[in-house]
């Protein structure tokens, strides 16, 4: 068997998320499995991702591994997979990796981007990728709140309701809020790992701060509460993009999987 | 009757172009007429555009006029139209104008943007708005060719085949090529007016120059030929956006209709 590390870009609009599901449900992992199966000649084949993305969430640099019986080298595999994949997903990079490479467990840092259109009117040209907030957002207030969220914290308040993950401590290395009130705004989250819906719940909460409906300096208390009911709503999926995943040297390859465009 | 000048943004993907057509064909003008009719109470109503955009072409700042019997002022009209319009078109600005305002005849300058993704692999996140050219493009060569196309020329070679416009002299004030080989590239065209398919035929020709399939310094001869068969192919519609339309003072209002974002 040969083992490869892949970097993927996809438009999440027409996928029911990353994770493979029963026949008839269109998922990114499912599409990748189908594309790889055609190369594996009916033999065993394993496809793993760095983490699940929800239905409607996009990726510019998702990382996956694929193990299969093949004579193809990494370059030929990339071409063959792209020939078999649908138009809304592409393999940007492929390289040989160790058999024990685990894209989820070995991921060191992940980065997500969330896009907001803050104009008073809807923007048809941004509708597919930006979430529309018509009220002017107070960027300074959101930055103060973001500062309080950075660092190692228990993020139980921001975990999807009904999630059964017990260890909810994560480290958010950095939250950046860029852009301008009345225009395009971007939230960037860089962290050691993320709970289910965590980024979208953080964004939903920060947007409430930006609209003056929540105190900027209330984030420490909100983390302390460990109560999903205390945080803001889950922001819509279509504004979210998994930007890149970084690995330490132990993963045996480049340490930064950003497509580097 | 009251008369208004409108600035419109639309995603052209699901429209069969600007110009109104028989029932069942979805066009931007048709959507605007339908939205305005609900405000005109069955009375007479006229909707005009600064020019037709083709099927699939987008606009960030198309200009139109609407005349109708109404008590609404410009601000109320904007809100009412946006409430009636489908999600993929929006009125960004509305202002009262003279009865004789003609958005097509009085347009002084128009600007179009054409977007190209020049990576070796397709980009799902850019697929809706960028045209994919996998071969590395020579930007310097395209700039040399663009320079030769600037100015007042007879653009008959770049007019859609079968077009019956006789006066084919236009002035291209400026062609800008920005971005980088292997990444996102943008062509911007600013001119006094454009023939049918002219921008897309110019882009198709410049892309041949960028791929080394046509001499950069052959544009003067190509203009001279006045023969559509001599120019490059028509570049796809989905990469093209009508960016803005500018009017002189005689149009009775702001001179620049750019949405000013």
pLDDT in tens, A165-204: 889 999 999 999 999 999 999 999 999 999 999 999 999 9
Kindly calculate the radius of gyration of chain B based on its CA atoms and give it in whole angstroms.
19
Q: Is residue B134 a part of any domain in this protein?
A: yes
Among B121, B125, B128, select the one facing A60 at the smallest CB separation. B125
- Residue A158 lies inside a defined structural domain of this protein: yes
Quick check: is B250 in a domain?
no
Domain match, A97 and A134 both: no
- Based on the fold, state whether residues A117 and A144 are members of the same structural domain: yes
Hey, is the C-beta of A241 within 8 angstroms of any chain B C-beta?
yes
Question: Can you read off the two tokens belonging to residue B218?
Answer: 């052959």
- Chain B residues in contact with A90 by the CB 8 A cut-off are 121-124
Segments of chain B scoring below 50 in pLDDT: 251-256, 260-261
A259 domain residue, yes or no:
no
Number of Cβ atoms within 10 Å of the Cβ of B212: 13
**What percent of chain A stands above pLDDT 70?**
95
Which residues of A are identified as catalytic? 54
Letter string b/e over residues B152-172, b meaning 16 or more CB atoms within 10 A of that residue's CB: ebebbbbbeeeeeeeebebeb
Sign of the Cα torsion B43, B44, B49, B53 reads: positive
**Statement to judge: residues B226 and B174 lie in one domain:** yes
Q: Are residues B90 and B163 in the same domain?
A: no
Check: CB of residue B228 under 8 Å from CB of residue B77: no
Domain final residue pick, B83, B103, B123? B103
Mean pLDDT estimate for chain A? 94
Same domain, A63 and A153: no
- Over residues B74-130, the pLDDT tens digits come to 999 999 999 999 999 999 999 999 999 999 999 999 999 999 999 999 999 999 999
Cβ A9–B88 below 8 Å, yes or no?
A: no
A13 shares contact with chain B (CB less than 8 Å): no
Pick from B11, B122, B124: which is nearest to A124 by CB?
B11
| Yes or no, beta carbons of B121 and A241 under 8 Å apart | no
Q: Which residue of A75, A125, A179 to mutate against B (max B Cβ within 10 Å)?
A: A125
Residue B256 lies in a domain: no
B42 lies in which domain range?
2-103
From chain B residues 166-205, the ones with a CB under 8 A of any chain A CB are 183
Residues A123, A11, single domain; the answer is no
* pLDDT score, position B261: 36
The CATH number for B51's domain is 3.30.70.580
Note if B11 is an active site residue: no
Residue B185, pLDDT score: 98
Residue-level pLDDT at A261: 36
First to last CA, chain B: 31
Give the residue among A43, A57, A59 at the shortest CA–CA distance from A111.
A59
Is A209 found in the same domain as A193? yes
CATH number, residue B190:
3.30.70.660
Could you tell me if A45 and A96 lie in one domain?
yes
For residue A6, being part of any structural domain is answered with yes
- Using a CB-CB cut-off of 8 Å, the residues of chain A touching B87 are 122, 124, 127
**B247 found inside a domain:** no
Q: What is the pLDDT of residue B250?
A: 54
Measured in angstroms, the CA of A73 and the nearest CA of chain B are apart by 18
In this structure, is residue B193 part of a structural domain?
A: yes
Q: Is the pLDDT of residue A32 over 70?
A: yes
Residues A136, A141, A145, A146, CA torsion sign: positive
Q: What is the reported pLDDT for A250?
A: 54
Do A85 and A115 reside in the same domain of the chain?
A: no
Q: Do B261 and A119 touch (CB under 8 A)?
A: yes
Residue B44, φ and ψ in degrees, nearest 5 = -65, 150
Predicted pLDDT of residue A241: 98
Q: Which residue of A has its CA nearest to B183?
A: A261
- What pLDDT digit, counting tens, does each position of A206-255 carry? 999 999 999 999 999 999 999 999 999 999 999 999 999 999 865 444 44
Q: Which residues of A touch B125 (CB under 8 A)?
A: 9-11, 58, 60, 129, 241
């Amino acid at each position: 068997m040969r083992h490869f590390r892949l970097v993927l870009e996809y438009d999440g609009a027409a996928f029911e998320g990353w994770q493979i599901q029963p026949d008839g449900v269109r998922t990114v992992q499912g599409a990748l499995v189908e594309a790889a199966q055609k190369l594996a000649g009916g033999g065993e084949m394993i496809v793993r991702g760095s983490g699940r993305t929800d239905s409607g969430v996009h990726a510019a640099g998702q990382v996956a591994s694929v193990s299969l019986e093949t004579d193809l080298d990494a370059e030929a595999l990339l071409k063959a997979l792209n020939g078999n994949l649908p138009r809304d997903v592409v393999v940007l990079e492929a390289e040989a990796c160790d058999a024990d490479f685990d894209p989820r467990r070995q991921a060191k840092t992940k980065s997500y981007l969330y896009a907001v259109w803050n104009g008073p009117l809807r923007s048809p040209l941004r509708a597919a990728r930006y979430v529309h907030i018509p009220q002017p957002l107070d960027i300074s207030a959101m930055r103060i709140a973001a500062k309080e969220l950075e660092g190692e914290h228990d993020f139980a308040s921001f975990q999807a309701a009904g999630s059964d993950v017990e260890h909810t401590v994560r480290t958010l290395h950095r939250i950046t809020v860029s852009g301008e009130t009345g225009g395009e705004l971007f939230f960037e989250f860089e962290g050691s790992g993320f709970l289910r819906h965590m980024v979208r719940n953080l964004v939903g909460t920060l947007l409430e701060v930006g609209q003056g409906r929540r105190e900027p300096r209330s984030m420490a208390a909100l983390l302390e509460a460990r109560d999903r009911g205390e945080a803001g709503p889950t922001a819509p999926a279509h504004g979210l993009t998994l930007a890149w995943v970084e690995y330490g040297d132990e993963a045996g390859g480049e340490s930064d999987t950003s497509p580097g465009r």
